[in-house]
A and B are shown apart, each in its own frame.
Chain A
Amino acid sequence: MSDGVVIDKLSLTFKGGSGRPALSAVSIEAPRGAVTGLVGPDGAGKTTLLRIAAGLLLPAAGRVRVLGLDPIVDRQELRERIGYMPQKFGLYEDLTVAENLDLYADLQGVVGAARVERLERLMRMTDLAPFLDRLAGRLSGGMKQKLGLACALVKSPDFLLLDEPTVGVDPVSRRELWRIVDELVVESGIGVLVSTAYLDEAERCTQVVVLDDGEVLEQGTPSDLAASVSGRVFLLTPKVGALPRQIQGSLSGRQGVLDVTIESGRVRVVVAHGEEDLAPCAGGEGIESRSSAHPRFEDAFMAHLSTRRARLEVGEKHATRTSTGDGVAVRVRGLVKRFGDFVAVRDVSFDVREGEIFGLLGPNGAGKSTTFRMLCGLSSITAGEATVAGRDLRRSGKRARARLGYMAQKFSLYGSLNVIENLRYFGTAYGLWGRRLKTRIAESLAEFDLGPRRKDPAAQLPGGYKQRLAMAAALLHEPEILFLDEPTSGVDPIARREFWRRINAVALSGTTVVVTTHFMEEAEYCDRMLIMSRGAELALGTPAEIRESVRTIDRPDPTIEDAFVVLAELRASQQP
């Protein structure tokens, strides 16, 4: 029988782009009966590779065979035998769940008894049966993703291509999707090629292909790849009273340290050679103890990529601000937001203390962005109280706004203006002028390392620089509180880590930071957080407190994501 996906020396350069190849001499094999994960930073070529396999793009050079067929020449036959789910799921939002499924069943020629049976099976798999008459546009992110998958599976394909199927989807739905995929591989023996931005998902694949800059860096089983860093991964337990975030800050960027993350209240370090790389900090810097850790795929991935990337120093700023008020930067009581009949935020209360990093976490559609917009004065408040920097948002929203900095999720600077012009514009908009404006711009350029790019139009900056420029613009008027809306969404793992170091530096300088994210593991970077689900509070507290709340004998060392899953399931069982 024909194999899965076999790609040999595939190359493609997009016309009109930077001239850099999207893929250069990529060779991979993704057999049937296995899940092959495509992992890599943004722009690595994952989507391009999947599209070529689906026959959506014409390769410039190389040989591509899917189920033994040429995706271009044997297009029609191939399209009858593969399932493909693009990043946007390919759903018609103005059609109901049933209508979407019927459409794809008609297109795939699934008819009669086979159709009834297949749709029943898909309903069982995805639990979408109660929502058949709901418009696809009204589904939650997780349900959309499952419907998209169901549409790709209508024909029971021999091979399944999935392009970042779980981006922005809540952890419960992510786990369900993987359960469905595993089931298909085991029961039907189909092959799956899936790209993902979540490194923990790569761990679940039979084999992983690491892509970077259009090249294959590694290919192998996750455990084999993880083994490449064995003996070089350590867990550091902080002393009582010491913040893991501070240990992380002091370790990152140090010679021989490839990756530092926070995990369940401890600091995870990947080093270049061995224990000796950690020798300089033995005993000091608030570290209580050190233990060797079992290496994961993520450790290997980061170790590999960080050696390919130029090191970036993040300047540490010292506290410039001292507390003036009661130590509470943001106070929220009984906050409610309604859009017609729909309650987007219901009765949410929390405090953000001065100088802390406060996270608003939750999957897409949980209400965190709505809450966030109300706090920034961008959206009206239906009911409840919100005070920001001592100002009541309902009464003096404008004055509150002058004291906060805001970085929107979408790039909201002027693409045709260069770095300096953008900063000058935003500075003026915030009321800075003359010498103070000049000084602040000079400081920002240095602090965010934008100097070498200061004459480049914003639109032409690489992703990481854009993000830094946006943050610099938001901080120009030295706000008391910085609001960051999904700053790490669509950013690759390396840029994400760097960005968090900057956020850390901002917080250390005394600015309060409120940040939203749908990456649960980023919760560990926050001092305290509010986890939201379906418009309501799911948990509130420090990462340690939230993890502690779900610790059981079966789950001795839960992560924030585990906590979300447990709490969300608990909530669902309480509200039938």
Chain B
Amino acid sequence: MNSSTRPTRGRRAAARRLRGFMRKELLQIRRDPSSIALALVMPVVLILLFGYGVSLDAERIPVAVVLDHPGAAGADLLARLTGSRHFDASRATSLFEAETWMRDHSIEAIVHLGADFERQIAADEQAPVQLILRGIDSNRARLISGYFDAVVGTWSGARLARGERALLPPISISARTWFNPSLRSTDVLVPGLVALVMTLTGALLTALVVAREWERGTMEAILVTPLRATEFLVAKIVPYYILGMGGMVLSVGLGVLLFEVPLRGSFFALFLLSSLFLLASLGLGLAISSTVRVQFVAAQISIIAGFLPAFFLSGLLFDLGSTPVPIQVISHLVPARYFVSASHTLFLAGDLWSVLWPDALALFVMATFFIGIARRRTGTRLDS
């Protein structure tokens, strides 16, 4: 037979099959409001939620100040507390009253200056200041304690500068925080969220797409057409890659414009690393989908294997350095970990290739691995 009767051979035929199948995928995405919602509306919701609603900083913490013996030094410290953006101080007439407020949840800490405080300061003795914290949220209690130390420190410094007596020996720590000088948690959260957003499109949406073909019986018909397994997979990856990158651009854009998160790295580096991460996520989703072939189960597995680790084991919310060693080891299997690390570098530091290359390499290996599994699982028969 000559080539004209075999229009399904060769590159042009393959390109046509690929285009046809990809167009079908795009049409299905367009007609399915839930995939658009997950890929493009969800990023906006997440960014707004985390940007406005979730903050790991503590500001205007309500505290009660109890002065057993009111005096100049006590009033000065109270003024310092009130002046700090971290505290919202109010005077309590007695420790008893302050404790009542604490039980009401109307304050989070009590600053107690004993009856001897003024005398001890004047006499240049040790002048203890009592800080009572609510330990229900231990992280927050630690944060408040730190803020309070800082306030007392600056207060002492100011007193010394004025030639007055101070609480502490005159050693001052001059701290400077690199990369995030204002210590805004938004600047750390938004870069991490980009990983979450891409995991949603990458792993969750694609976990459904192959399983859907199996469930609806279209897989059986497609298998008997000349479409090859590789073409099938490429046609499944490309549309979701575009969708995922759209979500990435959207969340980065919102972060930069709305929350003034700095983006110090280059677009090229961001594009490269997010592409690698997205491909790893897509690979994971497709591998799950083509293995279990049932949409419901695929979605469950994808949440457990893709979404939850991206949330908890990526360093997005918790510093991985302070987790137990086994967790740290496991976190190395989570693609999001490398991307969150790279994203933090890109946003807060810039194109530090010495840091980015290892992350890029790890993501590349994972993308290849997962897409490889998906390719193996996409057989040409029903029983393969």
Point out residues on A near B: beta carbons under 8 Å. 51, 54-58, 72, 75-76, 79-80, 82, 84-95, 99, 102-111, 148, 151-152
Contacts and interface: CB of A to CB of B under 8 A. Distances in A.
A152 B20 CA distance: 16
A54 B19 CA distance: 24
Given A90-B221, A90-B222, A106-B21, A56 B381 contact: yes
B16 interface: yes
B226 A80 contact: yes
Contacts of A108: 8, 225-226
Interface stretch (B26-34, B129-137, B287-295): B26-34
Interface stretch (B212-220, B320-328, B370-378): B212-220
Contacts of B8: 80, 108-109
B217 A88 contact: yes
A504 B10 CA distance: 63
B158 to A, nearest CB: 69
Given A89-B217, A94-B32, 16 more contacts: A57-B382, A79-B224, A84-B224, A88-B220, A89-B221, A90-B220, A91-B218, A92-B24, A95-B24, A99-B27, A103-B24, A106-B17, A106-B21, A107-B227, A108-B226, A148-B221
A107 B226 contact: yes
B7 A110 contact: yes
Contacts of B20: 102-103, 105-107
Instruction: Name the residue in B13, B19, B221, B228 with the highest tally of chain A Cβ atoms < 10 Å from its Cβ.
Output: B221
A35 B351 CA distance: 68
8 contacts: A56-B383, A76-B228, A79-B225, A80-B6, A92-B24, A102-B23, A103-B24, A109-B7
A70 B17 CA distance: 24
A82 B6 contact: no
Interface string B200-242: 0000000000000000111011111111100000000000000
Interface centre among A88, A91, A93 (most CB of B within 10 A): A88
A106 B6 contact: no
A95 B17 CA distance: 17
B380 interface: yes
Given A56-B381, A106-B17, A110-B7, A85 B221 contact: yes
Contact of B28 (A51, A86, A95, A106): A95
Nearest to B231: A107
Contacts of A87: 217
A109 B13 contact: yes
B17 A107 contact: yes
B226 to A, nearest CB: 5
Given A56-B381, A107-B225, A111-B7, A93 B24 contact: no
A85 B224 CA distance: 9
Contacts of A109: 7-8, 13, 16-17, 226
A555 to B, nearest CB: 38
Contacts of A103: 20-21, 23-24
B226 A82 contact: no
Given A80-B8, A106-B17, A55 B27 contact: no
Given A56-B224, A108-B226, A99 B218 contact: no
B353 to A, nearest CB: 43
B7 A106 contact: no
A95 B23 CA distance: 11
Given A55-B381, A106-B16, A111-B7, A88 B226 contact: no
A48 to B, nearest CB: 10
Nearest to B384: A58
A32 to B, nearest CB: 17
Nearest to A91: B218
Contacts, number: 101
B224 A104 contact: no
A54 B221 CA distance: 10
Contacts of B32: 94
Contacts of A93: 216
Contacts of A56: 220, 223-224, 381-383
A92 B218 contact: yes
A319 to B, nearest CB: 46
Contacts of A90: 217-218, 220-222
B24 A79 contact: no
A107 B27 contact: no
Contacts of A102: 20, 23
Given A106-B19, A111-B16, A151 B221 contact: yes
B224 A94 contact: no
The winner among B20, B21, B380 for most chain A CB atoms within 10 A is B20
A111 B223 CA distance: 20
A108 B6 CA distance: 10
Interface string B344-384: 00000000000000000000000000000000000011111
Nearest to A163: B220
Contacts of A80: 6, 8, 226
B27 A86 contact: no
A130 B376 CA distance: 42
A448 B110 CA distance: 78
A285 to B, nearest CB: 48
Contact of A104 (B7, B13, B225, B382): B225
A103 B231 CA distance: 14
A88 B215 CA distance: 10
A-B CB proximity, top 3 nearest: A90-B221, A106-B20, A88-B217
Contacts of B220: 51, 56, 86, 88, 90
A152 B6 CA distance: 17
Contacts of B382: 51, 56-57
Nearest to A135: B31
A51 B220 CA distance: 9
B217 A86 contact: yes
Nearest to B10: A109
B380 A75 contact: yes
Nearest to B18: A106
Nearest to A72: B381
A91 B7 CA distance: 23
Interface in B14-62: 16-17, 19-21, 23-24, 27-28, 31-32
A91 B218 CA distance: 6
A34 to B, nearest CB: 21
B383 A57 contact: yes
A497 to B, nearest CB: 29
A58 B291 CA distance: 19
A86 B32 CA distance: 25
Contacts of A58: 381, 383-384
